[in-house]
Structure 1
Amino acid sequence: MSGGPLSSFSKQGILLLSILHYGVGISLFNKAVGDSVELPSGLEREGIKSMEWKYKKMVIVEFDRNISLPRSQFKGRLEMNDSNFSLIIRELTLQDSGEFLVSAASNKEQIPTKTIHLQVHEPISKVEIQKEIKLLANQSCSVWLLCNVSVGSNLSYTWERGNETYRDDQQIHFSLSPADGDISVTCTASNSVSEKSASATVKCSNDTTTPADLTDDTRMKDTRTNSQVMSIYETVEDLAVPILNMPQTLYDKITFGRQPEDPSSSYQEVL
């Protein structure tokens, strides 16, 4: 079975990045659509003469003795804590992802600008396994499995088959023989805010010939915390489904696009 190395950014790594404070590095917050988030300014009210929050270089909150909220995409969803200047955004959308800058001036000096990155993710709502099983000439079977997910970016994959675990591949391939019997396989897809699994049973028999199909045995796990594969897609219910990357046979490659021979010319050659 194919499988890649462990992802360079584990869930623990994402969580660590998400709670970094100023002075250590740029803060990263991962949130789900519909969540609220409070972005810390790292400031204290005492001694601050003026300050402002910017989103993508546009001022969205200002303080100069009083707090003002210029018109922005966050209208009706934005609030600033006037005691520590933290920024609260409610009912997050995917479009709220981006870079937030907070800058301030005290009575004595200009305070260095600080940066926070907010990444809003769509929670995974559905996972299904597409499978293709073909009987080979030697009576073994070639099995291709594809993990289809309701969202299409920033995903990690884990496959389990018996005691074996494989990571980072959306599609896997392995061989079976009739003697192997029923084999249970599980795909788990996750992003920074959610995780969901689907399971399928595959087997090899002498009459095996299955078209691509989808399983719906799924389990949902919410992992919200503050903390590729193909270019052609079809739509199956609410899933973005890439086509299984099945290899062509040598015969296919040789005869692809070949014009059929003229039957009359063949007959003449025999004569």
Structure 2
Amino acid sequence: MIRCVAFAVLVLAVVITVGEKTTDVEVQGTRGGSIQLAPMIPEGFNTRDVYWRHMAMGEHLVASVSRGYPETTYQSRFLGRAHLHRGFTLEIRDLEVEDTGVFTCMLVSLEGQMLSMKYHVIVYEAVVQPTVQVFVSGGPKECSVFLRCNSSMGNNVSYTWRATTRQGDPVNTSYTLYNEGRLLITTLRPENSGASYTCIVANPVSHENVTVVPWESCVSLSEAAAPATMQVFVSGGPNECSVFLRCNSMTGNNVSYTWSANTRQGNPVNTSYSLYDEGRLLTATIRPEHMEASYTCTVANHVSQQNITVVPWESCLSLSGKPPKTQSYQQILCMASAIALAFVSLMICVLLLVKTSGLRSCSVQLANLDLVFQKTEPFTV
């Protein structure tokens, strides 16, 4: 009852006091932490009474002390968390977000002069490391990217983004933000494969970030290419053969087709060929000197690679059913021997003609030469 009367008298004194002064201060705190609110008492001010109040959802007396009353009185929701230090500094421990509001300190001097101070206290909850959800559509050649960033804790949180990449690679920094910066939308192409996007969440008392490389999700859109198959079509003959090779993969998207021509070391290879149907069809002309040439078709996309190799000369041979006519070393040697023998026999015949009895001997030599030619295999040039 006495305290109530004293408070009523104080209010009356405040109304009639001429030298009232008010000071505003802004204070930031972190949930679970503590703050100290220190009144700025001018020199020569003889404090008689101190009243700390919290102005949120009504007015609540937090702590008070009056000369003549040795104990400090603590009330309201801050009971057990408030403590008044020397110099009338108020400490609030175990801060809660709901503690946000205006704290006032009212000091009354022995002469009846009053000082009023306001402390605008904002209690922030510290942010935690955010998470980024990655959504993509399209394909690896042109990929639409949607990045959604969120922090599960924290108040008064701001969202900002930063685009970086490996040194020397271009980076796509053209993007659009929505939902107060939480959502980023951009388009990526293969030249942006090294681009990374960092989401930064922050408030006045904390900040965290997380980085993602969205191109990895774009690549996952590709279906692996199935093993390639090869169809071989030939026309012409074994001496000059037109070859058509058709390569195909039954599954896989964004597949590219490439070819390579190879042969055993030392043999020529026909690397002159034409490609059609986005590389699926190869056409070339090969001859006997290219009989060992092989052609390899490689099908690939960003997640897989397959290849198949054929030797088309084998199909060219099937056009005639037998290899082209070629002369063996033994056949050539045999024919050369027969020609040499014929020349020797002819020379003997000429010598015998010189003599009278040479005509008959010449006939015998020519008969023997005819027998040799009959035993020699035909020679095809």
Q: Sort the TM-score into its range (normalised by shorter chain).
A: 0.5 to 0.7
162-171 or 138-147, which moves further after superposition?
162-171
Alignment correspondent of 1:73: 77
Residue 133 (structure 1) shift? 1.1
* Runs of at least 5 residues in structure 1 that lack an aligned partner in the other structure: 1-22, 210-271
Where do 1:1-271 residues align within 5 Å?
26-43=24-41, 47-56=46-55, 57-65=59-67, 66-82=70-86, 84-135=87-138, 139-151=141-153, 153-162=155-164, 169-203=181-215, 205=218, 208=221
State the distance in 1 between where 2:22 and 2:79 align. 32
- Unaligned runs of at least 5 residues, structure 2: 1-20, 166-172, 223-381
Q: Say if 2:101 and 2:121, in contact at 8 Å, map to a contact too.
A: yes
Query: CA–CA distance in 2 between the matches of 1:104 and 1:68?
Result: 14
Q: Which has the higher helix share?
A: 2
TM-score normalised by structure 2 residue count: 0.44
Say if 1:193 and 1:165 are closer, same or farther in 2 by CA, change over 3 A.
Answer: farther
Alignment identity in percent? 24
Q: Distance in 2 between matches of 1:179 and 1:170?
A: 25
Q: SS where residue 95 of structure 1 aligns?
A: helix
CA deviation profile, 1:71-122 (whole Å, cap 9, x unmatched): 221121211123x111011111122221101111112233242110111111
Distance 1:205 1:190, change over 3 A: closer
35 and 153 in structure 1: CA distance in 2 versus 1, 3 angstrom threshold: closer
The residue identity in structure 2 corresponding to 1:161 is A
Aligned to 2:302: none
Q: Normalization by structure 1: what TM-score?
A: 0.60
Deviation of the 1:205 alpha carbon: 4.8
Contact 1:53/1:62 (8 A) holds in 2: yes
Contact 2:65–2:73 (Cα < 8 Å) also in 1: no
Q: Given that residues 22 and 115 in structure 2 are in contact (C-alpha distance below 8 angstroms), is that contact kept between their aligned partners in structure 1?
A: no
**What is residue 170 of structure 2 aligned with on the other side?**
none
Q: After superposition, what is the alpha-carbon deviation per residue over 1:36-80, rounded to whole angstroms, capped at 9, x for unaligned?
A: 110111126950111200012211111111342232211212111
User: Relative contact order (C-alpha < 8 Å, sep 6+): which is higher?
Assistant: 1
Taking a change above 3 Å as real, the CA distance of residues 192 and 165 of structure 1, as seen in their structure-2 partners, is farther
Classify 1:120/1:113 alpha carbon distance in 2 versus 1 (closer, same or farther; 3 Å).
Answer: same
Residue deviations 1:243-267 (CA, integer Å, cap 9, x gap): xxxxxxxxxxxxxxxxxxxxxxxxx
Residue by residue, what CA displacement relative to the aligned partner does 1:8-27 show, whole Å, maximum 9, x if unpaired?
A: xxxxxxxxxxxxxxx99621
Deviation of 1:139 after TM superposition, in Å, equals 4.6
Paired residues of 1:43 and 1:85 also in contact (CA < 8 A): no
Encode CA deviations 1:114-160: one digit per residue, 9 max, x unaligned.
Answer: 11011111111231111211117x95221111111022531122211
**Residues 128 and 208, structure 2, Cα contact 8 Å, conserved in 1:** yes
